[in-house]
Amino acid sequence: FIDHEAFNVMGVVVDESLNYLWTRGTRDLAKTISIQTFDSDGSVSPLGASLKILCAERGIQLRDVSGELENGLSPFEIIDGALGEGTAVKLYRCTLTEVLYFINKGRPVIAVMGDDEACVIYGYETDGVKVYFPETDEFKTFATKDAEKYFARNSNSFISCK
């Protein structure tokens, strides 16, 4: 979890090996990450597709993401298993502003919206947030305030990687 105190006092968050996970500082005014999308033939849920997108950004292809989800693995466990233990970062209850740090560093962020529902945040501008919806294969840009409300309604449940 990102420590909200670090955000409030211009601090940093490190992992157990003292690697920087997050630091409060300046970020670019706009950032867009190229993400690989997957044709949705109904065999993979939006959450599964989002996990595949996040891992593909790191050069890892998830093979049986649907099976792993059906077997009770959490999205966090699937990412950590695929990319290496300690790679996944839980961003639960973080604000959208805090989450955009990861986008600025070139790491897409998954917003978990329900049991099998998710979308991928892949960019931002000064007044908007870019989101990909795997279920409908749509790219949308939300006004920042609208995106904040949208993700807050879904408990601000985000996941990314180091």
40-64 CB burial, b ≥16 within 10 A, e <16: eeeebbbbbbbbbbbbbbeeeebee
pLDDT above 90 as % of the chain: 50
Place of tokens 């000064």: 126
Question: Are the C-beta atoms of 36 and 54 separated by less than 8 Å?
Answer: no
Convert the pLDDT of each residue in 5-61 to its tens digit: 444 444 566 677 766 665 656 667 899 999 998 766 677 899 999 999 999 988 898
Its pTM stands at: 0.83
**Angle, nearest 10°, between helix axes 96-104 and 144-153?**
110
Is residue 107 within 8 Å of residue 161, measured between CB atoms? yes
Phi-psi region of 10 (alpha: psi -120 to 50; beta: other; left: phi over 0): left
Q: Where are the alpha helices (DSSP H) in 16-115?
A: 46-56, 65-70, 75-83, 96-104
Q: Please answer whether residues 158 and 110 qualify as being in contact, where contact means their C-beta atoms are separated by less than 8 angstroms.
A: yes
